[in-house]
């Protein structure tokens, strides 16, 4: 099943994306075997929201081997983490706002894990039982702020500004993400092109290890890191992240008013 979250007349709602591009209502919680309802029309006619935005958004840095190499960084001995606030999260089609306080904003294509079942100290062999599915993320980063922060041993401004977490368009509950092509394009030009098999810490490792510190709850997300090829964006650009089998996450970039 491919789950989407969209803006209905009564507020945010969940739906199931069909093979023909239409969306049907999901009656009940997406975590508890929801029933299919009536069609609400083609996905192209819906305002899509971030698939989930009420849980923890945990992000992993330096987790693609080639990206570590291009950064001239040492391979981490354990997952390097930061978090994004809820106000950073936006859906497919929503604008990325280039903030007035930054002069150097970059894109970062990412595979995102969506947790579906509560758990702590999850064994690696049980990880699949706790995952609802996977979606696409774009870890927008203000490099000027990020570098100033990291020089002082912390990070939030550079990764957590409003609209810095595009996510979607759908959550796929069945796909195997161990070796998928992941690409990012700016105005149609390919900037990142890699495979999820280049991850240093794979999904089972991330969920199992992080669950030793955090209780995972339904709707939490883990952003697994970005491959090599990161670079700048500017107002007027259109950024697309494509992951094989998961679709395309597309967002325009606008200047802060």
Across the chain, mean pLDDT equals 97
DSSP 32: S
Q: Are residues 105 and 37 in the same domain?
A: no
Domain shared by 24 and 104, yes or no: no
Could you give the CA distance from residue 225 to residue 111 in angstroms, rounded to a whole number? 7
Q: Domain of 23?
A: 1-47
Q: Identify whether residues 98 and 161 lie together within a single domain.
A: yes
Q: What is the pLDDT of residue 47?
A: 98
CATH number of the domain residue 33 falls in: 2.30.30
Query: 65 and 38 in one domain?
Result: no
Do residues 38 and 54 both lie within one domain?
A: no
- Residue-level pLDDT at 210: 98
CATH of the domain at 184: 3.90.850.10
- CA 25, CA 15: separation in Å to the nearest integer? 4
Over residues 38-47, the pLDDT tens digits come to 999 999 999 9
Tell me: pLDDT of 209 over 90.
yes
Q: How many domains is the chain built from?
A: 2
State the pLDDT at residue 151. Answer: 95
Statement: residue 33 has pLDDT above 90: no
The answer to whether 168 touches 3, Cβ cutoff 8 Å, is no
Tell me: do 23 and 86 sit in the same domain. no
**Do 86 and 154 lie in a common domain?**
yes
Query: For the whole prediction, is pTM greater than 0.85?
Result: yes
Answer yes or no: do 189 and 127 share one domain.
yes
Whether 117 and 184 share a structural domain: yes
Give the tens place of pLDDT for each residue, 92-143: 999 999 999 999 999 999 999 999 999 999 999 999 999 999 999 999 999 9
Number of helical (H) and strand (E) elements in the chain, helices listed first: 4, 19
**23 and 140, same domain (yes or no):** no
pLDDT, tens only, 142-159: 999 999 999 999 999 999
How does residue 196 score in pLDDT terms, banded at 50, 70 and 90?
A: very high
- Co-location of 146 and 251 in the same domain: yes
């Amino acid at each position: 099943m491919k789950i989407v979250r969209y803006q209905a007349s009564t507020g945010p709602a969940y739906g199931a994306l069909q093979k023909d591009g239409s969306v049907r209502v999901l009656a009940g919680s997406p975590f508890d075997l929801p029933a299919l309802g009536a069609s609400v029309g083609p996905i192209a006619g819906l305002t899509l929201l971030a698939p989930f935005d009420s849980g923890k958004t945990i992000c992993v840095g330096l987790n693609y081997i080639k990206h570590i190499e291009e950064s001239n960084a040492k391979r981490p001995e354990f997952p390097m983490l930061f978090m994004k606030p809820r106000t950073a999260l936006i859906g497919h089609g929503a604008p990325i706002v280039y903030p007035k306080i930054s002069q150097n904003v970059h894109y970062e294509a990412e595979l995102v894990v969506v947790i579906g079942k509560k758990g702590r100290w999850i064994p690696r062999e049980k990880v699949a039982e706790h995952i609802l599915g996977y979606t696409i993320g774009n870890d927008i980063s203000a490099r000027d702020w990020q570098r100033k922060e990291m020089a002082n041993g912390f990070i939030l401004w550079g990764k957590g500004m409003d609209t810095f977490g595009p996510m979607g368009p759908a959550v796929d509950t069945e796909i195997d993400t161990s070796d998928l092509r992941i690409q990012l394009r700016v105005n149609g030009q390919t900037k990142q092109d890699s495979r999820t098999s280049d991850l240093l810490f794979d999904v089972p490792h991330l969920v199992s290890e992080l669950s030793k510190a955090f209780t995972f709850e339904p709707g939490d997300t883990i952003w697994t890191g970005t491959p090599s090829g990161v670079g700048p964006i500017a107002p007027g650009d259109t950024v697309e992240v494509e992951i094989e089998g998961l679709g395309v996450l597309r967002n325009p970039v606008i200047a802060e008013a």
